Amino acid sequence: MFSLMRWWTLQLLFLFLVAQARAADKPQADRIIILKSARTMTLFNADKVLKTYKVALGTMPVGPKRVEGDHKTPEGSYIIDARNPQSRFHLALHISYPSAADRERARKLGSRPQRRD
């Protein structure tokens, strides 16, 4: 006969394995499109929409980010390079901004792009 502790351990293991199997069945996003004016982020796998989320952007999100302090959100192709584990928003993502092109554009404008954290 199983002890109560062993029974609970087996139940938790079963639930963990079921959750892992379900997660493996879900397609992973390979592209993210953010519509700044609508403040939405849509996740895609191939060309299929997986999910759309509302997102928080800079205080003046419309228009491309040019220089540090313009309160705009960057536009372009970037890589998601980190998540903030301390954020109360589980989807807080960090992008690989500024790129070399962003730095060069800002330099030509006599400014600099926003620093990376």
What's the pLDDT tens digit per position in 63-88?
Answer: 777 777 777 878 888 877 887 777 77
If DSSP codes are grouped into helix, strand and coil, which group holds residue 61? Answer: coil
Q: Does the pLDDT of residue 37 top 60, yes or no?
A: yes
State the pTM of this model: 0.57
* Percentage of the chain lying above the pLDDT 90 cut: 3
Q: Mean per-residue pLDDT for 26-35?
A: 82
pLDDT at residue number 49: 93
CA 104 to chain centre: 25
Encode 84-104: b = buried (16+ Cβ within 10 Å), e = exposed: eeeeeeeeebebebbbeebee
Q: Does the pLDDT of residue 7 top 60, yes or no?
A: no
